[in-house]
Amino acid sequence: MALVGRDVGRLESTAAACRADGAKDVRVYSCDFASLDEVRVLALSLLDHLPRIDVLVNNAALVMQRREETVDGYEKVFAVNHLAPYLLTRLLLDRLVSSAPSRIVNVSSDAHTFGPLDPDDYMSTRSYKPLKVYGRSKLANILFTIELASRLKGTGVTVNCLHPGFVATSLGRDNKLGLLFVKLASPFIKKPADGAETVLHLACDDIDVSGEYFADRTVAKTRDYAKDLMMAARLWDDSAALVGL
């Protein structure tokens, strides 16, 4: 098992909990997805240490109250929520195919309903509304899933995405109003263990579909623009150019 995150202390704590539950080989990898170079180093380490990759779960995400750019010059939410997992998946893809049957699970959100992608302004330079920017990055996760599933057809690798629900995490920790809202809404928010149920379902249970969007362990509906095959193909090509593939 490989755990990836920015906070080494939290990684080690999670790894210890996994070992206590019976996991025999747990490795931790520190990586900031706001740096594509760090993602490339991470991929090399994973390929060096893992002869098989049975399941890849892309779960990293953030919401920013104000527009920021990464060291690569990209808008930070789009970079962390879409470009980094896109790059990591592409770099690990041969290993996933050689390990088939294997799975890729992309954690998206029903925030994709906040509006369609503008392929001429992925970086939100024209206007910046935090929830819309976040929602577009989660829409990118769905479109990436659709295109990747098409490209992996016949390989034995399935790829699906999901909405985990409204989960109590530190996702909006830089937003004071967001934190206040979460505190007020806490009776209605899922605990992390509950939010992980659909992730675990797609990672571990018998799944005979690929390229689908799930919520509450079942295939769910999306907006029509989340099924746009031409947009999915364009996003794939544009993302490849942005990350240097």
Whole-angstrom CA distances from 51 to 1, 98, 189 are 12, 9, 38
| Dihedral sign computed on CA atoms, order 23, 25, 31, 37 | negative
CB within 8 Å of 165: residues ≥ 6 apart: 190, 194, 195, 198, 215, 216
Q: Which helix (H) or strand (E) holds 105?
A: strand 102-107
Distance CA 128, CA 65 (A): 9
Return left, alpha or beta for 216; rule: phi > 0 is left, psi -120 to 50 is alpha, else beta: left
Report CA 241 to chain centroid distance, whole Å.
Answer: 19
| Dihedral sign computed on CA atoms, order 136, 216, 210, 93 | positive
Positions annotated as catalytic residues are 134
